[in-house]
Homo-oligomer: A and B are copies of this chain.
Amino acid sequence: MESISVGLLGLGTVGSGVVQIIDQHQDKLMHQVGCKVSVKKILVKDTNKKRDVYLNGTRLTDDPNEVLADPDIDVVIEVMGGVDQTREYILKALENKKHVVTANKDLMAVHGSELLQTALENKCDLFYEASVAGGIPILRSLAEGLASDRITKMMGIVNGTTNYILTKMSQEGRDYEEVLKEAQELGYAEADPTSDVEGLDAARKIAILATLGFSMKVDLDDVHVSGISQVTQSDLNYCDQLGYTMKLIGLANRTKSKVEISVQPTLLPHSHPLAAVHNEFNAVYVYGEAVGETMFYGPGAGKLPTATAVVSDLVEVAKNMRLEVNGNSVVLPQYPKNLKSDDEINAKYFLRIHAKDQPGTFAALTSVFSGQNVSLEKILQLPLTEGNLAEIIIVTHKVSKLNYEIILQQLNDLDAVAEVKSSYRVEGEEN
């Protein structure tokens, strides 16, 4: 093997990073792979646009077939984003016997199974480490490092934007809207932040993690999602007082053969490893039956962190090419999909309630919980300055999601309750 030719789809931030790393780390790549690695062609929208990356003779083209059908190109790296058209390009690349590396979580969360199956049929590699948690080699750790263990729980801080916002709100006492605006100015949040702040981006990543970690095909629609746009300073203050840190957590939980996948703002004890993951950093906490607690921490996005994950995948493709064993790393799911129903999902919850400051309120409240056979772990009651109301904070013991929703309904119907202001799941305490 004299050299490996790469075709790149897209030359945005991550694409430029990929070109830069292949160029600057050529000696390390050659030492590992045993031959030169070079980018032959790059698909771009505008071939005339000025680029601030050194292209070293690489040809730019706006014709996808120039890359997808070039017989000299061994590996196609997809960093253009998007779903429908990108899916077609990748399918075509695989059918043309080109190995594929992609950083595209949207695509893999929705079409991952089809693409992996196609890769398998064409004896091609398809790697996607960069699609989850940027520079953290979490997919490889699940698939190989923990290969012999049975993973029962994953909790991921897998969206940097929301972690930045929650960190600043918690540490600096600032409001959601203000910190979001700052994050947008710093480039951490998009002009339309919906996908990040409503948890959709995290949902894609936890779907990919769950599919791989549980060896079970999980679809994006299976993920229950709620975001952070309703989180208030009051919530965070009371969390902190009760010993919790709030994080937007992608959760994947397995009990025997059944799983639950969700994304929600979640309270973790201050001492939990995930509670120390601040600002735009990501981390994935993995619990295995044999290994116990592990955590993988690092940058979840950014030009070079993401590009380094892409190029590490390329190194693996290249090593496989040298050994002529491409197409063997795809392990299709071992188990059929088996989702927990609401009465099988058990968790503790934090509630903040505005109730009437009058005799009998507390008895009425607690009877709602005892009616569902749920005991309370922590209770905090404080008077409010406005409207003869009291603020009541409750942390429950474990309750099924089904029963908890009945409780929420009954609390809202209660005459003594003005409003259930907020409700968050509590994780990371195993009692």
Q: Are A290 and B307 touching (Cβ within 8 A)?
A: yes
Answer yes or no: A315 CB below 8 A from chain B CBs: yes
CB pair A137 B144 closer than 8 Å: yes
Listed stretches A47-55, A246-254, A295-303, A416-424; interface member = A295-303
Within A273-298, which residues are at the interface with B (CB < 8 Å)? 273, 276-278, 281, 288-298
A136 within 8 A of B: yes
Answer whether A294 and B297 are a contact pair too, CB < 8 Å, given A21-B148, A145-B140, A148-B25.
Answer: yes
List CB contacts (< 8 Å) of A290-330 with chain B: 290-299, 302, 304-305, 307-309, 311-312, 314-316, 319, 322-323, 325, 328
CA distance A31 to B277 in the complex (A): 35
**Beta-carbon contact of A148 and B28 below 8 Å:** yes
In the complex, A201 has a CB within 8 A of chain B? no
A294 CA to B306 CA in the complex, in Å?
13
For A137, give its contact among B28, B146, B289, B331 (CB under 8 Å).
Answer: B146
Q: Tell which of B146, B273, B281 touches A308, judged by Cβ atoms closer than 8 Å.
A: B146
A299 touches B291 (CB 8 A): yes
Interface status of A375 (Cβ within 8 A of chain B): no
A336 to chain B, nearest CB (A): 13
**Chain A residues with a Cβ closer than 8 Å to the other chain, count:** 58
Does residue A233 face the partner (Cβ distance < 8 Å to B)?
Answer: no
A147-B32, A148-B315, A296-B297 are known contacts. Are A308 and B334 too (CB-CB below 8 A)? no
Which of chain B's residues have a CB closer than 8 A to the CB of A323? Answer: 323, 325, 328
A291 and B305 form a contact (CB under 8 A)? yes
Residues of B contacting A181 with CB < 8 Å?
A: none
Known: A296-B297, A325-B323. A312 touches B32 (CB 8 A): no
Interface residues of A in 97-114 (CB under 8 A from B): none
Interface residues of A in 379-413 (CB under 8 A from B): none
* A95 proximal to B (CB < 8 A): no
A328 to B311, CA, bound (A): 20
Contacts of A145 in B (CB 8 A): 129, 136-137, 140-141, 309, 312
Say whether B150 contacts A28, CB under 8 Å.
Answer: yes
Does A215 sit within 8 A of B, measured CB to CB? yes
Cβ–Cβ contact B299 & A292, under 8 A: yes
Q: In whole angstroms, what is the CA distance A25 to B309 when docked?
A: 30
Chain B nearest CB from A338 CB (Å) reads 15
Contacting residue for A290 out of B27, B305, B314, CB 8 A: B305
A140-B291 Cα distance, complex, nearest whole Å? 16
CA distance A281 to B293 in the complex (A): 9
Chain B's nearest CB lies how many Å from the CB of A167? 11
Does A135 touch B at the CB level, under 8 Å? yes
Bound complex: CA A29 to CA B290 (Å): 14
The answer to whether B144 touches A140 (Cβ under 8 A) is yes
Q: Could you tell me the distance between the alpha carbons of A137 and B149 in the complex, rounded to whole angstroms?
A: 12
CB pair A147 B290 closer than 8 Å? no
A145–B146 Cα distance when bound, in Å, is 14
Among A129, A148, A291, A314, the most chain B Cβ lie within 10 Å of the Cβ of A148
A147 touches B316 (CB 8 A): yes
- When C-beta atoms are compared, the residue in chain B nearest to A140 turns out to be B145
Besides A25-B150, A141-B141, A291-B309, 15 other A-B contacts (C-beta < 8 A): A21-B148, A25-B149, A129-B145, A144-B312, A146-B308, A146-B312, A148-B312, A148-B314, A149-B312, A273-B297, A291-B299, A291-B305, A292-B299, A294-B299, A295-B298
17 residue pairs A–B, Cβ–Cβ below 8 Å: A29-B148, A32-B147, A129-B145, A135-B288, A135-B290, A135-B291, A137-B146, A141-B141, A144-B144, A146-B312, A148-B314, A273-B276, A291-B298, A291-B304, A291-B305, A294-B296, A322-B328
